[in-house]
């Protein structure tokens, strides 16, 4: 295989899988309500299962149990007040860390990020509106696509080679530019104004950090992908790690009343 063919060898399965995921996502967003919440709960369960399998491959039963727990917790958090929902999420992450034993220091923050990130997505859609959820999804997708193509076309110095050897500075910066462009597009629909451009760049950076964080976990345990559920992308966690990072950053800004249009 030539160097050019190898560089783009994963493009076809990536695009096909992305189209299927995008189609399902649009349907879920259109339906909203319990359909969307249930879909997010399924994603949380799958990501938790992958995380547990990576960190404790000798405990498949525990991985399945923790996946079910995550599914139930996301559904429960949807109907419970925040004063109960957040401690419930924390308790679920602690239970998982205790059950796995091995690498509990990695599981606890990663599982909490999965659950809090997924809960934030549900809250953003319910309380802020669909435009805001479309915005954060678009930031992650455009940032990822811009980074993918810029990194392969331009190459150049690596962003953080010890953790994520494929990421380049060219791809990283292209991701920021793409995220900022999304912010400009959504400035009016969300009512956030020009300030959303800077927030979008920050959300794009947070998404990249989510991806790098998951890469660090995979390197720590010696696996290439979180699973093989998604052709061309690896696992569900491989595909949604950036979304989790962006959701956590946006959620933090929201809580601190620093999100333009929602402050």
Specify the 3-state DSSP secondary structure of 215.
helix
Specify the 3-state DSSP secondary structure of 165.
strand
* pLDDT band at 160; cut points 50, 70, 90: confident
Encoding tokens for residue 4? 């050019």
Stated pTM of the model: 0.91
Are the C-beta atoms of residues 226 and 235 closer than 8 Å to each other? yes
What's the pLDDT at 220?
A: 92
What's the pLDDT at 232?
A: 67
Encoding tokens for residue 17? 């899988």
How far, in Å, CA of 237 to CA of 12, rounded?
20
What's the pLDDT at 5?
A: 47
What's the pLDDT at 9?
A: 54
Residue 88: is its pLDDT beyond 90?
yes
Q: What percent of the chain has pLDDT over 70?
A: 95
Report long-range pairs for 185-190 (Cβ below 8 Å, ≥24 apart).
185/138, 186/131, 186/134, 186/135, 186/138, 189/131, 189/135, 190/129, 190/131, 190/132, 190/135, 190/261
What's the pLDDT at 3?
A: 47
Per-residue pLDDT reduced to its tens digit, 252-263: 999 999 999 886
Residue 164: is its pLDDT beyond 50?
yes
Residue 7: is its pLDDT beyond 70?
no
Q: Look at the block and give the residue holding tokens 């962006």.
A: 246
Per-residue pLDDT reduced to its tens digit, 204-223: 999 999 999 999 999 999 99
> Given CA atoms 240, 246, 252, 255 in this order, what sign does their dihedral have?
negative
DSSP state at residue 234: B
Q: What is the mean pLDDT of the chain?
A: 90
Specify the 3-state DSSP secondary structure of 169.
helix
How far, in Å, CA of 104 to CA of 85, rounded?
22
């Amino acid at each position: 295989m030539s160097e050019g063919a190898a560089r783009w060898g994963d493009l076809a399965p990536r695009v096909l899988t992305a189209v299927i995921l995008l189609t399902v996502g649009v349907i879920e967003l259109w339906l909203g309500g319990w359909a969307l919440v249930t879909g997010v709960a399924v994603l949380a369960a799958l990501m938790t299962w992958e995380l547990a399998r990576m960190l404790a491959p000798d405990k498949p039963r525990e991985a399945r149990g923790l996946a079910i727990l995550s599914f139930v917790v996301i559904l429960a958090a949807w109907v419970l007040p925040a004063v109960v929902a957040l401690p419930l999420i924390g308790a679920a992450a602690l239970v998982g860390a205790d059950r796995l034993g091995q690498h509990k220091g990695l599981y606890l923050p990663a599982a909490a990020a999965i659950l809090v990130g997924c809960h934030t997505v549900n809250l953003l859609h319910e309380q802020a509106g669909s435009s805001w959820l479309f915005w954060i999804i678009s930031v992650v997708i455009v940032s990822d696509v811009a980074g993918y193509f810029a990194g392969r076309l331009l190459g150049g110095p690596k962003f953080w080679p010890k953790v994520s050897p494929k990421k380049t500075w060219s791809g990283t910066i292209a991701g920021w530019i793409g995220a900022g462009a999304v912010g400009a597009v959504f400035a009016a629909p969300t009512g956030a104004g020009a300030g959303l451009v800077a927030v979008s760049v920050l959300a794009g950076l947070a998404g990249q950090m989510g991806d790098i964080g998951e890469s660090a976990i995979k390197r720590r345990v010696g696996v290439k992908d979180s699973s093989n559920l998604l052709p061309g992308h690896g696992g569900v966690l491989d595909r949604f790690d950036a979304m989790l990072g962006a959701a956590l950053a946006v959620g933090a800004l929201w809580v601190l009343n620093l999100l333009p249009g929602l402050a």
